Amino acid sequence: MAPVTFSGKEKAATSTAFVRLPERSDYHHRRDVLQETKQIDEAKNDTTASKIVNKQQGGVNRCCGCRKKVGLTGFRCRCGDMYCSEHRYSDRHDCSFDYKAAGRETIARENPVVKAAKIVRL
């Protein structure tokens, strides 16, 4: 069997047809974008970390109704306080959240008023 030989033109065409070499400007652009996103992520993480530290400094989770330790079984109400299983419902504690206004707002947002255009009479 005879060995297969390629001419220089065929070899060059096949080698560059599928491989795109990165240009120098592409490399610098990607590096700049990565640095910018890294700086943004670091800024977000700093603010998130400070919020987490502030919450952890609060201490033990306790029910706002009876001051019992709730641990992982605590329920956070819409008013923002933590409650035990006995005081978790809004009628069992003095909830400051206005459920009626929230319901009205939800209904108004989901059901917009449909008004027909006026008809011009002859």
Position 5 scores a pLDDT of 64
Q: Does the global pTM surpass 0.75?
A: no
| Tens-place pLDDT, residues 10-61 | 554 445 555 555 555 555 556 666 677 667 767 666 655 555 444 444 568 8
Query: What's the CA dihedral at 61, 66, 67, 71 to 10 degrees?
Result: -30
